[in-house]
Amino acid sequence: MIRSRVIGTGAYVPPRILSNHDLEKMVKTSDEWIATRTGIKERHIADEESATDIAVKAAKKAVESASLSADEIDLIIVATVTSDMVFPSTACFVQSRLGIKKNIPAFDISAACSGFLYGLDIADKYIKNGAAKKVLVAGVDVFSRIIDWNDRNTCVLFGDGAGAVVLSAERGNRGLLSSHLHSNGDHWRLLYTPSNIYSSPFKTHSRVHSHKHDEPYLKMEGNKVFKLAVQAMGETCQEALEHNDLKPADVTFLIPHQANIRIINATAEKTGISAEKVYINVDRYGNTSAGSIPIALDELAHSGRLKSGDILLMAAFGGGLTWASAVVRW
């Protein structure tokens, strides 16, 4: 059977670190509040670099670690909700900046923090039906550009970063075993960022947003998102295990979306996965949205802690609302 095997990973975060103590000088908050409620100690902020810049750096590392030349890639999928431009897509910029001369397909997908797992799922379907053999999937977000830095409810939570993998069509048992995607658009108001495209220049009133919600910053009802995230992440982990006939003890590592340590711990507990098997880096990066899971996967891959045959369970939750899981046999 043809499977999508991860043959390379890469990640990049911009060099500037914004600590909780730095945030204490910007809004009414404290290191203690942020660390206790979220697990975050610091995050990276892109000053000069854009989503494309950091995606390209992660993508180059992934292609290098796969020991490929960029021209061997035959599909590029970038998950992001903070692309440099409305169009072209970040994926087209990545294709150009990697120097790929073949006219391969390249496109972005929008599923917020679940975006990378959505990208894996799509890539796997291309690979399984024979339409692609080597696929670059990247997740990148620069939420620092869509955060209201005066809003303590949201500005302490996010950071910028990118991660990428190269998937290869291979026969055998290793690779992506399953992916499950979900969404519920009825809950969109709990987590969204408006854009001015919504309002027609020919109308004075928009149909959905009231004026105060039109500022182009991330809005979130944190408490409600928190509860739904715990429920959805737990359920999708469960369906992933059942689909593959796996028990919690079979999982080598749970790689959850890094939004909040309390969501991560609750997901692990609901799924029955012990704490030492949960990969955590939210303390160093905050929530990097689509970058979160591929950054964690890259760190784990380069840590020397993974061996062939290990079972990785990944789960994410984000705006849309969207949520997803994937199981990889390393």
Active site residues: 113, 257, 287
Stretch that binds ligand ACO, among 48-56, 148-156, 180-188, 297-305 (CB under 6 A): 148-156
Question: Of 42, 138, 318, 328, which lies in the binding site for ligand ACO, with binding defined by CB under 6 A?
Answer: 318
Q: How far is the CB of 136 from ligand ACO (least distance, A)?
A: 23
Instruction: Decide whether 67 or 150 has the Cβ nearer to ligand ACO.
Output: 150
192 is an interface residue for ligand ACO by CB under 6 A: no
Rank residues 212 and 307 by Cβ distance to ligand ACO and give the closer one.
212
Closest CA to 47 of 97, 3, 87, 13: 13
Give the C-alpha separation, 116 to 287, whole Å.
Answer: 13
Phi-psi region of 286 (alpha: psi -120 to 50; beta: other; left: phi over 0): left
The residue among 29 and 244 lying less far from ligand ACO, judged by its C-beta, is: 29
Check binding of 182 to ligand ACO (CB under 6 A). no
287 binds ligand ACO (CB under 6 A): yes
Does 187 participate in binding ligand ACO (rule CB under 6 A)? no
Is 229 near ligand ACO (CB under 6 A)? Answer: yes
- Chain residue whose CB lies nearest ligand ACO: 318
Asked if residue 147 binds ligand ACO (CB under 6 A), the reply is no
Binds ligand ACO by CB under 6 A, chosen from 196, 223, 303, 308: 223
d(CA 84, CA 306): 34
Residue 152 in contact with ligand ACO, rule: CB under 6 A: yes
Question: Is residue 133 close enough to count as binding ligand ACO by CB under 6 A?
Answer: no
Q: How many residues would you count in the chain?
A: 330
Spatial distance between the Cα atoms of 137 and 73, rounded to a whole number of angstroms: 10
Find the shortest distance in angstroms from Cβ 297 to ligand ACO: 18
* Rounded distance between C-alpha atoms, residue 169 and residue 125, angstroms: 11
Closest CA to 77 of 129, 127, 133, 138: 138
Q: What is the rounded distance in angstroms from the CA atom of residue 110 to the CA atom of residue 79?
A: 6
The C-alpha atoms of residue 114 and residue 94 are separated, in whole angstroms, by 20
> From the CB of 25, what's the least distance to ligand ACO, in Å?
13
Distance CA 30, CA 18 (A): 13
Structure tokens at 11: 């990640």
Binding mask 25-64 for ligand ACO (x = CB under 6 A): ----x---xx--xx--------------------------
How big is the site for ligand ACO, counted in residues (CB under 6 A)?
A: 24
Distance between alpha carbon 144 and the CA centroid of its chain, in Å? 15
Nearest to 92 by CA among 55, 130, 134, 142: 55
12 closest CA partner among 165, 113, 163: 163
Query: Interface with ligand ACO by CB under 6 A: which residues?
Result: 29, 33-34, 37-38, 112-113, 152-153, 156, 191, 222-223, 225-226, 229, 259-260, 263, 287, 289, 317-319
